[in-house]
Chains A and B, each alone.
Chain A
Amino acid sequence: MPGSINSPMNIFDVAGRAMAAQLTRLNTTASNMANARSVASSEADAFRALKPVFRTHASSPDMATVDVERIVQSDTQPKKRHDPANPMANADGYVWEAGVDEPTEMIEMIETARQYQNNVQVLQTAKSLILETIRMGE
């Protein structure tokens, strides 16, 4: 793994790992959106939104990247709905809709994309500056 304990972290590790973390976040958002309209026969079986937990990983006073520590289920409650015609309905005719707040997920998606792009920009700038430095004196 780049930037592990043995090797010092550089700017490429910082931005690269942040991109990986943002991608995990985008994946959870995609899962949440995909399951937003799914229903279950009981509250316990209903899908609940997945959320990554970000944690700073600092290697020196200058350098800090981010890792996904774990992925948790959100506490958004599944919505109980009376729908006796639904094949998933329980004996009383109720189904539970996935505990996903779609507008929140959309905003999360846009924010994730934005922050991912920022890290790409950092990477590109750092790369061109380093290449410029290599050519110093030519």
Chain B
Amino acid sequence: MEAEVLVEENKQGNSPSAIPSYLEHKGRFRGIWSWLLTTDHKRISILYLVSILTFFAVGSILGFFMRMEQMTTGPTIMEPQTYNAFFTLHGVMMIFLFIIPGIPAAFGNFILPIHIGAEDVAFPRLNLMSWYLYISGAILALTSLFVGGLIDTGWTFYVPYSLRTGTNVSLALFGVFLLGFSSILTGLNFITTIHRLRAPEMGWFNMPLFVWSLYATGWIQVIATPIIGITGLLVIAERLFGIGIFDPSKGGDPVLFQHLFWIYSHPAVYIMILPAMGVISEVIPAFARRTIFGYKFIAYSSIAIASVGSLVWGHHLYVSGQSYTASVVFSLLTFLVAIPSAIKIFNWVSTLYKGSIDLSTPMLYALAFIFLFMIGGLTGLMLGTLSVDVHLHDTYFVVAHFHYVMFGGTGFGLFAALHYWFPKMTGRMYNERIAKIAWALLVIGFNGLYFTMLVLGYQGMPRRYYDHLPEFHEGHIIATVGSWILVSGIFLMLGNILYALFKGRKAGQNPWKATTLEWQVPTPPPLLNFVTKPNIPEDPYDHKFRF
């Protein structure tokens, strides 16, 4: 049992500038160990941010090569088996190593305690363990590539193929299990933090909406993630011991695997999108210089999305052999879950009305989010429609849909968070012009690639196919060129950020003149976040409040 002791400011009175930032703080450990053994939520957040962006860069390169392969019919740069491994690895990395941990781990860790006026999260050591589980899971999943052949099942690991393939599915699934555990612990930590560590003046409806989104996400992490845990264990047990749960020759039902898999994986997409929506709810009021429209509606809609979103998984099984009754029920539920999402869009757009719009980079990403997420959401409704899905299932339409919501949605939300909170986290500012150029490349490249895929899918191009028929050829070329523009935008953005980390000019305490509590603490914040007692207004986005 340890007690941490902070020696009080002495009678001479310490000025805030004398208190070192969390980056300068000298704790019990020095050098690299001050990072690897830290329990400071801010350092853990940075550990996650670096890991996540690295995996994102690698996953993007995989995608780049997949698109290169599709430049010509027939083999272009790789064998079919390699292509299968590429799309599997691309999916596993992007989903489990980038998007699901994404915003909660890399930004939620840093910002959540500060947003509620706390010194750290409820369980700082558990927080560090989450990161180690994440890294272990990542290492296992990536190692499984090199031990026993490249995994080729797709990130969805459907049986019976995942039972029969000679590649190292068991190791990969165990890595996924560890990653799930990491996600659970983060959610558990955040829920407890929000319940227990809010400043006394901060009631539930004085919290920033980012906190609400992390709260709803935490519950999905706790309730849904164990299901993928057990599903992975069952497949491993099946491969190792032949228990027969999913094997038709022993009476098992492969569709049951799909049920179990998607009972987690559909709510998982809400783990992905809710924090991104939380970021948008922060950025828009800040850069429209007015309070958010419909605070309570946005707060409640986060809970509604988390709840109803856990009931729609069967829309992934429409053509699997599932009963018609189930398909109808799931289709109805899928339509319902669009409603709270739409409410958020209405409220964000309404917030812009009579605002004083500042088109800095974070705002550009937020506005792009609204546009791209809308396309993603609407195409989702199309796919949710039974008769339409029969034709569009497993085509490029689906692939484009989920890239619009996961990349155009969560991805752009993460980029918005990156550009919004970078000055606070590092004490430096990036080059605004280059950031905007990168944004433009991203938006143009993104739509060039994925809108084309919507059309290709509608025309019938199947997904996860290494090759394509000549009738799809022009579309593929346009898409691949779009991917080049997209990837150049990604690397320009990341390069700009990396450069700013070392050479950026110093940032002030509140470069955006925003209102939430992180802008009341020094840049970067000191170890326990608050130097003086924070001023907590009733409305977290009250621009008339002076502090």
A binds B: no
Task: Please report B residues at the A interface, Cβ cutoff 8 Å.
Answer: none
A-side residues, CB < 8 A to B, are: none
